[in-house]
Chain A
Amino acid sequence: MKGVLLIAGKEIREGMRNRWVVAATLLLAALALTLAFLGAAPAGRVGAGALEVVVVSLSSLSIFLLPLIALLISHDAIVGEMERGTMLLLLSYPLARWQVVLGEIPRPGRDPGAGHHPRLWRGGPGADGRGA
């Protein structure tokens, strides 16, 4: 389990340094502020409270945007790691393959398909003796 935590820690650190996170935060903040301002306007006529309109708009925003951003970042976690060549390097370390994959997941955002990539599982578990 130690291996998983180590990789997860590194992934989170990488994610925080990643410009995607900053960009996504800024984008969300801008959209949320816009919604808050616009949402307040029609409140009187429709009859719904200003707060309800803002809450509904914000939640529909996050439904659209959050999975998209999560997909982007987790794509970078696994595919970026492979393209840089560090994935193979990690696999040559005393770690089982499932530990590497599991460790990649807790990036700020998660691609549900990533854990079941069949090619990563070929070759079976490596470091049975450690942690786990």
Chain B
Amino acid sequence: MGKVYTGFGYWDVGAWILFFAVAAFYILWLRSQGRSDYKKGTAQDEIYWSGNEVPEDGADLTVPASSAYWGFRKALEPFYKGLLGMHTGLPADVVGYYVLTVAVLAVFVLLV
């Protein structure tokens, strides 16, 4: 294993693995302290879903991926409007951005 020296400090994977081992041991110990005398098949055994009845199909109670980080996207709406607008998917745009980038680079490299 050993240490990785970055020139600014070092990284010791062994220390981290030791940390994870200790954390895993603690978590397993904590879990083992839980009560094992609950009654199966009663309300004690059911999923608690904010006091509501749990739907039969999992699809009804999950947040879909397209809604994840909704607030993040809403807060950055102008940024995403521009970024998504740039990705038209049109072949002419795909080639166009490439040609434009190379042309701009060429101008700057010749000027510098």
Task: Tell whether A and B belong to one assembly.
Answer: no
Binding site for A on B (CB under 8 A): none
Chain A interface residues toward B at CB < 8 A: none
